[in-house]
Structure 1
Amino acid sequence: MSHGIHTIDTGFVRPRFDAAYLLVEQGRGAFIDCGTNFAAPRMLDALRDAGLSPADVDWLILTHVHLDHAGGAGELIAQLPNARLVVHPRGARHMIDPSQLWAGASAVYGEAVMESTYGRLRPIPAERVIEAADGHVVDLAGRPLRCIDTPGHARHHMSIYDARAQVCFTGDTFGLSYREFDTAQGAFILPTTSPVQFDPAALHASIDRLVALKPTAIYVTHFDHVTEVERLAGDLHVQIDAMVAIAQSADQAHDDRDARHESMKRSLTELYASRARAHGWQGSDSESLALLGMDIELNAQGLGVWLDGARKRAS
């Protein structure tokens, strides 16, 4: 792809797992997502490779505030003297004061793991933060970048439509597509839930909204760009429904949450493996699990939280 779009491997977890993007227009730059604190040198290297300096960056735009996308925002903004942060209104407060974001994640993973995996979160001055409501347009040297509210993975999620390039940057809304699963049939894709805010109905609607823009390509965080947008959207819709069915079946079969979780993990593992085989992927089950194990765990967690929330809402 061209149009001044540069894919940056943030180095998180493994190669070709976590991407951020640099857009260059008339000597000015905008980053979309930034990875963790440890990705900041890679982001600055990408600037240099594109012939820009830190002072040439006008914007850091976040799709959402999960730490593999936004954990390094404070660290990066501190090194970009003219840049402002653009973020969903629901996520802005967590960038200005990341203490709650840190505390929530630390309660799950522990302080030591958080420090080693993400680095300490750095606050961003409120005057450098712009809340992007649905339809907000970021002006990159005359190139409009439209922010679109796309909940489903998270309520604080937005996607960015670049009309000049006719592409969307979708964070996690348009799923995961690891290049290791590419075959002669094209890209392979699967949805990603969130352990807190997964909403299947909202995710279906967000995917449809992105497809209606008729982008020639979609840039996902995990990893890089995909084409055949309508086919992949159909695959996502089918799998979201299959994942909901798996969750509901496990919920009916198991009173114990741990047993329910393990049941969902087994069913999700088979769902993705069978779809990868049908897609023509020749890897082994162990290779598939090595690539998707973290996502299977997180998807099962997200489905579990969604089930518990649905039960509370019904009571």
Structure 2
Amino acid sequence: MQTKNPIRLDQRIHLIDGFDFEIPNRTGAYVLDEEQLTIIEPGPSPSIKHIKKGIEQLGFSLEVVKYIIVTHVHLDHAGGAGLLLKSCPNAKIVVHPRGKRHLADPRKLAAGARAVYGDSFSDLYDPIVPIPEERLITKEDGDMLEIGEDCKLQFFNTPGHAKHHFSIYDPVSNGLFTGDTAGVRYQLLIDQGVSFFLPSTSPNQFDPNELRHSWGRFHDLQVDRIYYGHFGMTDQPKAALQQVSRWLDVFMDIAEKAYTEGLGYDKLAERLLTAIKVDLRAKGIPDDHEIYVILNVDMQICALGMVDYLQKRKEE
């Protein structure tokens, strides 16, 4: 089993690598060391062994975990919540109201992901464990959750990536856990001095207008940090949001043209990847860099979401 020590972000927040797709720096769970020990983004079920190991490395027992928060119910963020909960007898899951039913009965969610991932589904996401309704808590826009004497997390409805998505404001760090709404942070490139953020436009609730509205809310909060579901933290939130906004313009322009030409999502994915390669070449990143293992997958999924959005818009 791949493993590495939890990443210390500050004196109370650590990030545990979940090795999603068996790739480091892909997804991670945040551990908030407060009176009510809280985990944000447990990830998919194959990641849970890494999350449990990381919690133990931090010196905590699973019995002291009080809250497990999922920003949204896509399986790479929440698919392992039920499995982790089985080992955390005193914990409850916090979820967006639109996502609650999918955690209680994940069959529809699993079927949708199976349609996207096909034969790879079992390796990537099984098992998906239903969560008893009495262990589910929902939070509406603006609701609070006290996890420490000086820490009340606040929840904000932030659609655009998914309708069942909220982001969580942490007043102590003046930071925001944004799941996928703020896009994807590519640690492998940042390690080489290339700051790189892309929007996440996966199916089937992607909406660029709602995404931009959510980014406006992020801007208004004037946070000092953004914590990403994929992967890690930036302390330059304005620059990161500006970059992801620029790339959304690029993505939508490419998608509109490909859709008008009648091209499928696979050809769209190729065009997206080409635009990214041109940009990264100019920054000194070669075409055979290992980042393209991740980017190839991401662009396939992003293309599916944009085609789905354009088809729905045409049918309106």
TM-score (norm 2): 0.92
Residue 201 of structure 2 is matched in structure 1 by 193
Which residue identity does 1:153 align to in structure 2?
Answer: H
CA apart distance, 1:185: 5.9
Judging changes above 3 Å, is the alpha-carbon distance between structure 1 residues 251 and 186 closer, same or farther for their aligned structure 2 residues?
Answer: closer
Residue deviations 1:222-279 (CA, integer Å, cap 9, x gap): 111112111111111111122111111112122xxxx33243223211222233344x
Q: Secondary structure at the match of 2:54?
A: helix
Residue 286 of structure 1 is matched in structure 2 by 288
Residue deviations 1:40-71 (CA, integer Å, cap 9, x gap): 22222222222221121110000111111011
Residue 296 of structure 1 is matched in structure 2 by 299
Judging changes above 3 Å, is the alpha-carbon distance between structure 1 residues 261 and 37 closer, same or farther for their aligned structure 2 residues?
Answer: closer
Percent identity, aligned pairs only? Answer: 35
Q: Any conservation in 1 of the 2:83–2:127 contact (CA below 8 Å)?
A: no
State yes or no: 1:235 paired with 2:237. no
Aligned equivalent of 1:122, options 110, 129, 134 = 129
**Structure 2: gaps spanning 5 or more residues:** 1-8
Q: How far apart are the structure 2 equivalents of 1:299 and 1:173?
A: 13
State yes or no: 1:79 paired with 2:90. no
Q: How far apart are the structure 2 equivalents of 1:290 and 1:40?
A: 22
Which residue identity does 1:123 align to in structure 2?
Answer: P
Q: Secondary structure at the match of 2:197?
A: coil
Residue deviations 1:12-33 (CA, integer Å, cap 9, x gap): 110111111111114x310001
TM-score (norm 1): 0.92
Q: Any conservation in 2 of the 1:218–1:227 contact (CA below 8 Å)?
A: yes
Which residue identity does 1:284 align to in structure 2?
Answer: P
Q: How far apart are the structure 2 equivalents of 1:10 and 1:184?
A: 22
Q: Secondary structure at the match of 1:286?
A: coil
Q: How far apart are the structure 1 equivalents of 2:243 and 2:281?
A: 14
Aligned equivalent of 1:261, options 260, 265, 272 = 265
Matches within 5 A, 1:71-110: 71-110=79-118
Q: Any conservation in 2 of the 1:134–1:149 contact (CA below 8 Å)?
A: yes
For these two proteins, the number of residue pairs brought into alignment is: 305
Matches within 5 A, 1:153-232: 153-182=161-190, 187-232=195-240
Residue deviations 1:98-150 (CA, integer Å, cap 9, x gap): 1111222223434x532222112111110110111111211112311111111
State yes or no: 1:305 paired with 2:308. yes
Over the aligned positions, Cα root-mean-square deviation in angstroms equals 1.7
Q: Secondary structure at the match of 2:264?
A: helix
Q: Any conservation in 1 of the 2:66–2:90 contact (CA below 8 Å)?
A: yes
Residue 33 of structure 1 is matched in structure 2 by 41
**Structure 1: gaps spanning 5 or more residues:** none
Residue 159 of structure 2 is matched in structure 1 by 151
